[in-house]
């Protein structure tokens, strides 16, 4: 009885060794011939779990998005397929849900042992760019996908494992987010400065027109200069004061409106992550 048990233990031990050897070969192949828009790396503590990053291709609703996911390989890989997950909210797949694909463990009957890591990542990207439904997929609009693409930077940067496995991409994200903040500050300052400058021009025009009206009124005051000047400057002065007040109120309203819109836009950019979680 001891011999069969020992034989089974030897067989089980060889399976993960075979899987690890094959995954190392797949990794070398991926390094020598990278898959467009995709990077991948194994967990340092578990070679059977790989994490990948997909960059949204140009011309797709995922453009400028960065999507993090994982592959869990069985100990008897490559004779059985891995399970596939997408972690970053993307509008195509449910986050952290097993995906039903012909290259995943949902369909071991269609799996081909000659397929490798590059084949899996290529197939996943291809299916992501399609609109076919499957278990784990969701339906969203193009606009929602674009919003999630923009928010993917901050989402991934808040994931410690992502930053550990892909430090270069994490640094790239930090630089891009800093550029976005600087662009927002510049845009905000420019909008307010232009608004204040425009109101200042209006006030200057009112002052000039008021002075011109006063001089005309004084020139026509031959019969009764004191009465004419009073009649001309009184209403004109009142109109000028009210115009200044109206324009100042307009400046305040414009500034408040700008910051309210800015706040609403920021809040709307958070809905995707909260909804996905």
- DSSP result, 48-83: EEEEEEEEPPTTSTTTT-EEEEEEE--TTTTSSPPE
Question: CA-based diameter of the chain, in Å?
Answer: 134
Is 100 among the residues known to form the active site? yes
φ, ψ dihedrals at 42, nearest 5° = -85, 160
Catalytic hit among 29, 43, 48, 100: 100
d(CA 218, CA 212): 10
The angle that helices 167-219 and 142-157 make with each other, rounded to 10 degrees, is: 110
Whose CA is closest to 81, among 124, 55, 126, 113?
113
The answer to whether 162 touches 40, Cβ cutoff 8 Å, is no
Inter-CA distances, 272 with 53, 160, 174, Å: 20, 20, 20
**83 half-sphere exposure, CB direction, 13 A CA radius:** 12
Omega prior to 78 cis, within 30 of 0? yes
Active site residues: 100
């Amino acid at each position: 009885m001891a011999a069969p048990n020992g034989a089974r233990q030897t067989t089980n031990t060889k399976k993960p060794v075979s899987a690890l050897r094959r995954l190392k070969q797949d990794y070398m192949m991926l390094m020598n011939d990278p898959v467009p828009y995709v990077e991948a790396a194994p967990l340092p503590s578990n070679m059977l779990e790989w994490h990948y990053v997909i960059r949204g291709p140009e011309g797709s609703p995922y453009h400028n998005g960065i999507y993090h996911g994982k592959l869990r390989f069985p100990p008897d890989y490559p004779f059985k397929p891995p399970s596939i997950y997408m972690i970053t909210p993307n509008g195509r797949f449910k986050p952290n849900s097993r995906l039903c694909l012909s290259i995943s463990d949902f369909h071991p009957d269609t799996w081909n042992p000659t397929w490798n890591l590059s084949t899996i990542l290529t197939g996943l990207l291809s299916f992501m760019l399609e609109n076919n439904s499957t278990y784990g997929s969701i339906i969203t609009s193009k606009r929602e996908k674009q919003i999630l693409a923009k928010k993917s930077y901050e989402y991934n940067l808040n994931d410690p494992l992502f930053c550990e496995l892909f430090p270069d991409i994490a640094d790239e994200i930090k630089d891009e987010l800093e550029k976005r903040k600087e662009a927002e500050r510049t845009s905000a300052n420019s909008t307010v400065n232009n608004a204040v400058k425009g109101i200042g021009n209006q006030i200057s025009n009112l002052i000039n027109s008021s002075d011109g009206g006063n001089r005309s009124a004084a020139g026509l005051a031959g019969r009764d200069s004191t009465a004419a000047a009073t009649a001309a400057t009184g209403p004109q002065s009142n109109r000028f004061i009210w115009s200044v007040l109206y324009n100042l109120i307009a400046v305040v309203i414009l500034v408040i409106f700008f910051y309210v819109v800015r706040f609403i836009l920021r809040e709307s950019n958070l809905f995707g992550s909260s909804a996905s979680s």
